[in-house]
Structure 1
């Protein structure tokens, strides 16, 4: 009996050592998870001995132990195929093999939707971009790639189907876009009316046919001459691996159908391009005219070839904040902003980098209050002076504009934006503006006003 106990203990410790020995033999395990893995901790840091070394080393081992992907996949298969639940925190296990991105769940259920001020912030940011571009005779359009469960929710699991309301951020946003006269191209309605499914089952994005349809609608909205793919012939290959599938089953993915059009494109990439997900991509097309700058996210991967094939030259950027100097660099005649529906909250947080528009406003009451503005920051950023902060809630209505007056002279309008606070809550009263260096100085007088173009009250003054 004692001999069996010794063998059992030895076997137990041998199994426990396998991941450590495997790390030495096979090296670090890679991961398909959509997050940054822990790095090996340093014993000594700039602040001295790293007292958290053991804890950090534990996190490193958890992310990199040998055979991790095999064990993660096995666990996911047991839970997903037998129990019908997802083991990946970012993935929802649907029915009939469908997978959904969990980032879209709150919007799908109608929970924790954007506040009216946040919706205004998004629409007014886009309106100010559009105004700036119009002054340069550049056409502008904004479009949203719908969440998969906004279009195809039949396979959402039952426990995620108790909706609080049918409202969604995109539905609520459209009213503000209309009020701000933003040129908006709706993709939801035409994609929803299509008589076939245009998204992948095990990926969060549209397939190539969905991207072709989206590009047709977008180019039509821009009035851009192009060749439609509606009746184009194509080949179907079962060779596509979904991003959600890789996150959930890193070593047991299920290839699904992808559509490949028979028509040959005429554009070419400039320089070396690893994939259409590269942060910056430039294309040229010798048989087309026009110049496009497109700010896009991952939905732009499949959309890019169709848009590039319609313009003489195009520049596609995933950079945030949007750098409007790109328009001058590319001598663009068209700018498109594309964002996934699930990323709309992030749009309220980031102001594009461009000169703040100068305004003429009538000054109302002087309500200067040292507590009216929080976290005021004035810094030099490249060729701009960046001024940002947060306005106290009592000084803002839903559609209040925010102005900055420098040295008692010129008045500029700031971008309204959301700010995520340290406790995770959102302050909808943020503002950001960029002034060319030399327009104002850090030592100059500064006044902040809220209101509208007809009348604005002084709420803060800095000598």
Structure 2
């Protein structure tokens, strides 16, 4: 009994010493340690005990203590690294740990890519028709304004690299919402619709490079080039195929990305992948004018196609932007989250391309050129 008490005392004393020492060390090391707030919220403020908050004070204090704990980012990173390396477990519920250092996305509140993968979000005929009618309506509005309209659909990463998904998620469903919509629009309307799955899969199987990032939700520069070349071909512009001897694919720096960042392991996992650059196509002295990931990316080019291209986009167009921008005298890519009809009228393009990735495919049902 006495030995148990001594052991308990030692453990308690050790805990107190470690706790106190961590605050002491933090006093000296705070300026050289990473204390950046990476969370999408403001850190808690130290609460003051009052008559009004005596019942919630313990939880408020605990939250503040957690947010201001010495070496907090280091401890979070260490926990994530142990989970990833030793237990092959994700420290973030929205990240799937695949094989060979591949990470995948499964947020239910952000397009629900896992439902897309498993085909559990299939659409009824009425829903497909509703999407078709809205797309036709928007096309007709643009046609009346003298503008071309093209729809470009990019597949999710989970579908493109399903062989690295954990076995318990099964194989990707052969019938899924993006395929339903692409097939329905192609078969029942005269809309110009491009679904990039086959083109990207061909490139994936033909090249010795990945076309999506291992640790990011997006395609890399190679996949983006393929997507851009298919869109440009639909618009009457030919650039060399990704397999062409005219092109040079260069391996640039190590790269991780948004999924690794969600695990707090952006730097630690960058060894597993690379970014790439592509040269050998006519760049028409392209100049970057605006570069806002969440707003506008725009280019001007000399001696390129005289038409003005307007891309109503999500984040997948960002990597395509330099390739597309090099082929038109004026290219304007506006994120859908910041779109306004007045901005569209001011730009007055000749061509409108609506780019959407698979997990956001349902937005085709409600998007409006008029910004309604």
TM (normalized to structure 2)?
A: 0.80
Equivalent of 2:184, from 164, 176, 184?
A: 176
Shift of 1:338: 0.9
Query: Which structure is higher in helix share?
Result: 2
- RMSD in angstroms over aligned alpha carbons? 3.2
Decide whether aligned partners of structure 1 residues 298 and 17 sit closer, same or farther in structure 2, where only a CA change above 3 A counts: farther
Decide whether aligned partners of structure 1 residues 278 and 23 sit closer, same or farther in structure 2, where only a CA change above 3 A counts: farther
Is residue 357 of structure 2 the alignment partner of residue 340 of structure 1?
yes
Question: Residue in 1 aligned with 2:18?
Answer: 15
Shift of 1:259: 1.9
How many Å separate the matches in 2 of 1:14 and 1:117? 66
Question: Residue in 1 aligned with 2:239?
Answer: 227
Question: Residue in 2 aligned with 1:126?
Answer: 135
Aligned length: 345
How many Å separate the matches in 2 of 1:181 and 1:50? 66
Listed as ranges, the matches of 1:77-156 within 5 Å are: 77-103=81-107, 104-156=113-165
The answer on whether the counterparts of 1:270 and 1:284 sit within 8 Å (CA) in structure 2 is: yes
Decide whether aligned partners of structure 1 residues 49 and 60 sit closer, same or farther in structure 2, where only a CA change above 3 A counts: closer
Shift of 1:306: 0.7
Q: Which has the higher contact order (CA 8 A, sep 6+)?
A: 2
How many Å separate the matches in 2 of 1:211 and 1:50? 56
Question: Residue in 2 aligned with 1:239?
Answer: 254
How far does the alpha carbon of each residue in 1:335-389 deviate from its partner, in whole angstroms, 9 at most, with x for none?
Answer: 11111111223554x442518xxxxxxxxxxxxxxxxxxxxxxxxxxxxxxxxxx
Shift of 1:146: 0.8
Decide whether aligned partners of structure 1 residues 240 and 312 sit closer, same or farther in structure 2, where only a CA change above 3 A counts: same
How many Å separate the matches in 2 of 1:183 and 1:53? 60
Query: Which structure is higher in strand share?
Result: 1
Q: Counterpart of 1:228 in 2: which secondary structure?
A: coil
The answer on whether the counterparts of 1:69 and 1:251 sit within 8 Å (CA) in structure 2 is: no
Is residue 330 of structure 2 the alignment partner of residue 286 of structure 1?
no
Q: Counterpart of 1:137 in 2: which secondary structure?
A: coil
Question: Residue in 1 aligned with 2:74?
Answer: 70
How many Å separate the matches in 1 of 2:65 and 2:363? 32
How many Å separate the matches in 2 of 1:64 and 1:144? 44
How many Å separate the matches in 2 of 1:202 and 1:10? 42
Q: Counterpart of 2:270 in 1: which secondary structure?
A: coil
Question: Residue in 2 aligned with 1:198?
Answer: 211
Shift of 1:14: 4.1
How far does the alpha carbon of each residue in 1:413-443 deviate from its partner, in whole angstroms, 9 at most, with x for none?
Answer: xxxxxxxxxxxxxxxxxxxxx5xxxxxxxxx
Is residue 176 of structure 2 the alignment partner of residue 157 of structure 1?
no
Shift of 1:262: 3.2
Q: Counterpart of 2:228 in 1: which secondary structure?
A: helix
The answer on whether the counterparts of 2:254 and 2:270 sit within 8 Å (CA) in structure 1 is: no
How far does the alpha carbon of each residue in 1:382-403 deviate from its partner, in whole angstroms, 9 at most, with x for none?
Answer: xxxxxxxxxxxxxxxxxxxxxx
How many Å separate the matches in 2 of 1:21 and 1:346? 53
Q: Counterpart of 1:126 in 2: which secondary structure?
A: helix
Q: Counterpart of 1:9 in 2: which secondary structure?
A: helix
The answer on whether the counterparts of 2:117 and 2:159 sit within 8 Å (CA) in structure 1 is: yes
Q: Counterpart of 2:276 in 1: which secondary structure?
A: strand
Question: Residue in 2 aligned with 1:270?
Answer: 289
Q: Which moved more, 1:298-307 or 1:311-320?
A: 311-320
Is residue 340 of structure 2 the alignment partner of residue 328 of structure 1?
no
How many Å separate the matches in 1 of 2:182 and 2:21? 56
Structure 2 unaligned runs (5+)? 108-112
How far does the alpha carbon of each residue in 1:168-199 deviate from its partner, in whole angstroms, 9 at most, with x for none?
Answer: 11111124323243321121111112213311
Q: Counterpart of 2:337 in 1: which secondary structure?
A: coil
